[in-house]
């Protein structure tokens, strides 16, 4: 991308948010599916479902042996005393327990290989129509009894405003490392919401990420907009045994409730962005978030 092209994209804020006094719903101006059936492992019916609903769930993409190994690695990472003091580690706002660990793909740890697993990357390439790189990765620990909620949000709204992601050409991938049941705070999605961008209110505070990764207060959709989206598309939970994988479009409205059961709900979360959609200056006009939260150019495609 040339400097002139980047500046042109930066001027064209196609999805303004946190700049008006009232929220607004805007229909998306970008495709949902960029690739075709012959471009990867997804069948035509998969692509149609993703186009219509904004997400796909594949049960048991990873075997029980895979999950057992990954679970050990997950706990090893969480219990590492050196990790607790690193900026990549995010704690729960009340208990101080580990909530998330970012930039897993950059860590010198066996779990990092999961982020570039071929089966996952091929699907991302097909959905986005070509070479991709990892915009963000993290592991989420929603522990039993005290794992806190992730309130409703569109990932793209934050990535656009605070990171400078220009267009809707990214996909999130959630790899379940524990069973996802109706009771332990599973991922909730609003089908079809990816086709509507919700413009939020409230100017973004400086260094907002220091609080938002624990509990988000800006970039949160209003009640009326959420109600309209849910009345239109309903709400579904991404349920399935450990080893299942959920792909959801970067603008799909999603969240999860607190986990008050004894059973944890942990996952590895990887965001793939197309190389032609690399970040520009944040649209909020503030300094970019750190590199362990959002990968900034130059970017290299996953080989």
User: Which range has the top average pLDDT, 52-56, 143-147, 260-264?
Assistant: 52-56
Query: CB within 8 A of 69, min separation 6: which ones?
Result: none
User: What is the span of the domain harbouring residue 85?
Assistant: 28-277
The reply to whether 256 falls in a domain is yes
Judge whether 254 and 152 are in contact, CB under 8 Å.
yes
Q: What is the count of structural domains for the chain? A: 1
Q: Which residue has the higher pLDDT, 85 or 265?
A: 265
The reply to whether 23 falls in a domain is no
User: What pLDDT does residue 11 have?
Assistant: 59
The reply to whether 205 falls in a domain is yes
Rounded to 5 degrees, φ, ψ at 71 are -65, -40
The reply to whether 3 falls in a domain is no
User: What pLDDT does residue 207 have?
Assistant: 72
pTM of the model: 0.91
User: What pLDDT does residue 132 have?
Assistant: 98
For residues 30-59, average pLDDT: 98
Helix/strand/coil for 140: strand
User: What pLDDT does residue 200 have?
Assistant: 95
Phi-psi group of 13: left, alpha or beta (phi > 0 → left; psi -120 to 50 → alpha; rest → beta):
beta
User: Which range has the top average pLDDT, 64-73, 92-101, 136-145, 190-199?
Assistant: 190-199
User: What pLDDT does residue 215 have?
Assistant: 52
**pLDDT band at 128; cut points 50, 70, 90:** very high
d(CA 298, CA 75): 32
User: What pLDDT does residue 25 have?
Assistant: 97
**pLDDT band at 209; cut points 50, 70, 90:** low
User: What pLDDT does residue 214 have?
Assistant: 45
Q: Is the per-residue pLDDT at 211 higher than 60?
A: no
Q: Is the peptide bond before 298 cis (omega within 30 degrees of 0)?
A: yes
For residues 126-142, average pLDDT: 95
The reply to whether 299 falls in a domain is no
Mean pLDDT of the chain: 90
User: What pLDDT does residue 206 have?
Assistant: 81
Q: Which residue has the higher pLDDT, 5 or 89?
A: 89
Q: Which residue has the higher pLDDT, 142 or 284?
A: 284
The reply to whether 18 falls in a domain is no
Query: CB within 8 A of 80, min separation 6: which ones?
Result: none
Burial string for 285-295 (b: 16+ CB within 10 Å, else e) reads ebebbeebbbb
**pLDDT band at 87; cut points 50, 70, 90:** confident
The reply to whether 242 falls in a domain is yes
**Lowest mean pLDDT segment, chosen from 27-41, 97-111, 168-182, 249-263:** 97-111
CATH number for the domain harbouring residue 238: 2.60.120.620
The reply to whether 283 falls in a domain is no
Q: Is the per-residue pLDDT at 217 higher than 80?
A: no
Which structure tokens are listed for 255? Answer: 């969240």
């Amino acid at each position: 991308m040339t400097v002139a092209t980047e500046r042109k994209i930066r001027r064209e804020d196609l999805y303004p948010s946190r700049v008006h006094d009232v929220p607004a719903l805007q229909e998306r101006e970008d495709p949902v599916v960029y690739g075709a059936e012959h471009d990867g492992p997804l069948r035509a019916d998969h692509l149609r479902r993703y186009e219509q609903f904004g997400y796909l769930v594949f049960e048991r993409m990873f075997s029980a042996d895979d999950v057992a190994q990954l679970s050990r690695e997950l706990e090893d990472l969480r219990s590492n005393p050196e990790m607790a003091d690193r900026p990549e580690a995010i704690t729960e706002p009340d208990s101080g327990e580990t909530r998330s660990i970012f930039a897993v793909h950059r860590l010198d740890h066996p779990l990092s290989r999961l982020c570039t697993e071929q089966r996952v990357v091929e699907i991302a390439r097909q959905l986005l129509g070509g070479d991709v790189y990892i915009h963000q990765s993290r592991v989420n620990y929603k522990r039993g009894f005290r794992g806190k909620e992730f309130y409703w949000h569109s990932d793209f709204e934050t990535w656009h405003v605070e990171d400078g992601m220009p267009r809707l050409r990214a996909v999130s991938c959630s790899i379940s490392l524990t069973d996802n049941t109706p009771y332990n705070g599973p991922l909730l999605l609003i089908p079809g919401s990816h086709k509507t961008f919700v413009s939020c209110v409230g100017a973004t505070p400086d260094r907002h990420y220091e609080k938002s990764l624990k509990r988000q207060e800006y970039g949160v959709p209003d009640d009326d907009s959420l109600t309209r989206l849910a009345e239109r598309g309903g709400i579904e939970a991404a349920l399935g045994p450990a080893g299942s994988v959920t792909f959801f479009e970067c603008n799909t409205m999603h969240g999860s409730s607190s986990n008050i059961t004894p059973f944890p709900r942990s996952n590895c979360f990887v965001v793939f962005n197309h190389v032609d959609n690399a970040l520009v200056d944040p649209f909020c006009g503030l300094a970019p978030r750190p590199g362990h939260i959002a990968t900034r150019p130059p970017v290299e495609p996953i080989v």
